[in-house]
């Protein structure tokens, strides 16, 4: 398609078409009023009074029909027909009114100009040619019966030239308008696509983004920010009641922008977030753009590197540590076997043995971290596997401890390394039994296997009726070397979570309403490979 053939927009073409209809109706009414008032002969030197009257009425009637019939400017055949008939009827009026001195030729120029806005290229020039030829030919025909009309050839030729000039100029202006429209439409499409792309990027970003005004009102919050803050909607709300810690970091940053804000953890079991702030000037308003980055994975990787280094160090000195530990433990055992040892010293020997055993367990766990093999997931039938695990575990339980198992109906499958799952469950069940025995004479742990109705994933809960975890300890229970038990190493839950994540499972803590703790394992889908 060439530039000359580019169409105007539908709105502009329709507006021009309606204006052309209105213009023709006004001209038609003016002609009818002129002949109805019997002043046409006084104003015009009519060559044919009867023809002028008939054509005037015909012109008005045809324009009424054209206004009702032609309503779509894209129908070029209809528009061409209207333009051609308009020129023909105006040419008849031009002849009947006495030629060039009547001024009807000016109406022909306007008609040609309107036609060349809606009709482009050769079709528009054809209308100009019909108008120019009509005026020149009718002037010649009129000069036969009226010798005075022979002096009108120059005026008729000038009017014909003006018709072509109007056609060419209007087509040029229309072409420029078309190019401007096309460029504007392309720019608008590019802007719309860019806005859609920016919106898509903003929606898909894992980094949380918030836009706050001076009153801490949320102007914008992407899904990443809502997920990290544990909120369903923040648009138009004041941030203070929803995340006061983030507001404190913002206030500290405003006091000292060069200081790096401290990380925060809005949710007890949620990720660790690193906020950053940027001023955004919008006219006279100064808003604040907040970025929330999940640094839990980075911190976890740093912790893993730290533990791996510790494991390598421990492996290097394990021999030097274990030999003295063995000697200390053996000496304490010999002291306990002595019949002459007082009861107080016997208690001290027992403490030596207990702590030697605990130190050796720490060494074993750290070595295990450094030597941990890669997970080898297998397709597991969780119901069958759990029944077998519970049966084997109960064989070594003392009488004052009980393990319960509850499973749902239907098949539940996942992909996980069975040896690592055994290690995780053994650790969780032993912890549960130990804390349950602190509160009750009979220590109990419940294993509850079911399918999550929302995610449709297998879920296993390890429940106990112990004292539970205090609020100030919740965010630390999965950290390495953190323990509230003087006999624990603080690595059990950390290793369990690491083993779950290596199998694309998730381990979380939940407090039970009835008291005690709930450690929930959410397994990966059985079709999902690790």
What is the domain partition of the chain in residue ranges? 3-188, 208-294, 299-371, 378-522
The CA-atom distances, in angstroms, between 14 and each of 11, 230, 329, 475, 521 are: 5, 53, 100, 68, 66
* pLDDT for residue 350: 82
Instruction: Specify whether the CB–CB gap between 39 and 66 falls below 8 A.
Output: no
* pLDDT for residue 300: 63
Intrachain domains 208-294 and 299-371 with the same fold: no
Lookup: tokens for 314: 């421990």
d(CA 230, CA 465): 28
pTM of the predicted model over 0.85:
no
**Range 251-262 average pLDDT:** 87
Residues with Cβ within 8 Å of 118's Cβ and at least 6 positions away in sequence, in order, are 13, 16, 17, 20, 73, 79, 83
Instruction: Specify whether the CB–CB gap between 501 and 477 falls below 8 A.
Output: no
* pLDDT for residue 7: 47
Question: Percent of the chain, pLDDT > 70?
Answer: 85
The CA-atom distances, in angstroms, between 54 and each of 34, 50, 89 are: 13, 6, 11
Q: Is 194 helix (H, G, I), strand (E, B) or coil?
A: helix
* pLDDT for residue 327: 80
Strand (E) positions, 346-442? Answer: 378-381, 401-407, 413-416
The CA-atom distances, in angstroms, between 529 and each of 318, 376, 424, 504 are: 37, 10, 20, 9
Lowest mean pLDDT among 170-179, 259-268, 294-303: 294-303
Beta-carbon count within 10 A of 493 CB: 23
Q: Given a cut of 70, is residue 490 above it in pLDDT?
A: no
Predicted confidence (pLDDT) per residue in 288-312, tens digit: 999 988 887 676 666 667 656 666 6
**299-371 is a CATH 1.10.287 domain:** yes
Most confidently modeled range among 180-184, 303-307, 415-419, 498-502: 415-419
Q: Given a cut of 50, is residue 213 above it in pLDDT?
A: yes
Predicted confidence (pLDDT) per residue in 366-420, tens digit: 666 555 566 678 888 899 999 999 998 898 888 889 999 998 888 888 888 888 8
CATH architecture of 208-294: 2-Layer Sandwich (3.30)
Selection from 420, 415, 414, 418 nearest residue 373 by Cα: 420
Burial of 292 (0-12, 13-18, 19+ CB in 10 A): buried
* CATH topology (fold) of 378-522: Heat Shock Protein 90 (3.30.565)
The CA-atom distances, in angstroms, between 457 and each of 270, 425, 517, 529 are: 20, 18, 21, 14
Per-residue pLDDT band for 488 (boundaries 50, 70, 90) equals low
Q: Is 294 helix (H, G, I), strand (E, B) or coil?
A: strand
**Range 493-498 average pLDDT:** 82
* pLDDT for residue 500: 85
Q: Given a cut of 70, is residue 530 above it in pLDDT?
A: no
311 vs 274, residue with greater confidence: 274
Burial 161-174 (b: 16+ CB within 10 A, else e): ebbbebbeebbeeb
Predicted confidence (pLDDT) per residue in 444-470, tens digit: 999 999 998 877 889 999 999 888 887
d(CA 339, CA 330): 16
The H or E element spanning position 517 is: strand 517-522
435 vs 359, residue with greater confidence: 435
Mean pLDDT of the chain: 80
Q: Given a cut of 50, is residue 6 above it in pLDDT?
A: no
Burial of 483 (0-12, 13-18, 19+ CB in 10 A): middle
Distance between first and last Cα of the chain: 55
Selection from 104, 107, 112 nearest residue 128 by Cα: 112
d(CA 8, CA 14): 9
Predicted confidence (pLDDT) per residue in 7-47, tens digit: 455 677 788 888 888 888 888 888 888 877 766 566 666 76
Tokens 């109960």 -> residue:
394
* pLDDT for residue 445: 92
Q: Given a cut of 80, is residue 101 above it in pLDDT?
A: no
Selection from 163, 83, 86 nearest residue 115 by Cα: 83
The H or E element spanning position 281 is: strand 273-282
d(CA 393, CA 400): 14
């Amino acid at each position: 398609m060439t530039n000359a053939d580019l169409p105007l927009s539908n709105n502009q073409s329709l507006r021009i078409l309606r204006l052309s209809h209105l213009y023709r109706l006004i001209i038609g009414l003016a002609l009818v009023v002129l002949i109805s008032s019997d002043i046409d002969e006084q104003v015009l030197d009519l060559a044919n009074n009867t023809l002028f009257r008939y054509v005037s009425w015909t012109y008005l009637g045809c324009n009424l029909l054209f206004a009702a019939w032609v309503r779509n400017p894209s129908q070029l055949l209809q528009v061409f027909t209207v333009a051609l008939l308009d020129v023909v009827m105006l040419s008849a009026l031009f002849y009947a009114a006495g030629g060039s001195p009547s001024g009807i030729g000016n109406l022909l120029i306007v008609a040609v100009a309107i036609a060349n806005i809606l009709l482009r290229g050769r079709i528009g020039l054809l209308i100009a040619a019909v108008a120019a030829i009509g005026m020149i030919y009718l002037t010649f025909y009129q000069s036969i019966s009226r010798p005075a009309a022979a002096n009108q050839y120059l005026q008729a030729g000038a009017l014909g030239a003006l018709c072509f000039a109007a056609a060419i100029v209007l087509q040029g202006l229309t072409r420029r308008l078309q190019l401007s429209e096309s460029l504007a439409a392309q720019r608008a499409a590019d802007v719309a696509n860019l806005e859609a792309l920016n919106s898509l990027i903003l929606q898909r970003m894992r980094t949380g983004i918030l836009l706050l005004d001076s009153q801490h009102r949320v102007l914008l919050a992407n899904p990443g920010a809502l997920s990290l803050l544990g909120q369903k909607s923040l648009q138009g709300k004041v941030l203070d009641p929803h995340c006061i810690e983030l507001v404190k970091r913002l206030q500290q940053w405003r006091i000292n922008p060069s200081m790096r804000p401290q990380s925060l953890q809005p949710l007890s079991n949620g990720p660790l977030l690193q906020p950053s702030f940027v001023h955004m000037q919008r006219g006279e308003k100064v808003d604040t753009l907040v970025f929330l980055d999940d640094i839990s994975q980075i911190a976890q990787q740093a912790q893993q590197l730290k533990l791996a280094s510790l494991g390598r160090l421990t492996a290097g000195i394990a021999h030097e540590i274990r030999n003295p530990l063995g000697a200390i433990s053996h000496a304490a055992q010999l002291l306990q076997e002595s019949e002459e040892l007082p009861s107080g010293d016997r208690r001290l020997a027992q403490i030596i043995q207990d702590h030697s055993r605990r130190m050796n367990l720490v060494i074993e766990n750290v070595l295990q971290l450094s030597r941990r093999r890669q997970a080898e997931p297998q397709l597991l039938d969780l119901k069958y596997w759990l029944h077998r695990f519970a049966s084997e575990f109960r064989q070594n339980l003392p009488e004052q401890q009980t393990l319960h198992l509850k499973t749902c109906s239907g098949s539940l499958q996942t992909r996980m390394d069975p040896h690592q799952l055994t290690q995780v469950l053994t650790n969780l069940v032993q912890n549960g039994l130990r804390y349950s025995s602190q509160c009750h004479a009979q220590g109990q742990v419940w294993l509850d296997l079911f399918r999550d109705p929302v995610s449709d994933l297998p879920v296993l809960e390890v429940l106990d009726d112990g004292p539970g975890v205090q609020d100030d300890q919740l965010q630390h229970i999965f950290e390495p070397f953190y323990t509230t038990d003087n006999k624990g190493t603080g690595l059990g839950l950390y290793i369990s979570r690491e083993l779950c994540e290596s199998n694309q499972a998730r381990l979380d803590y939940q407090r039970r309403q009835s008291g005690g703790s709930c450690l929930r394992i959410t397994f990966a889908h059985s079709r999902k490979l690790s």
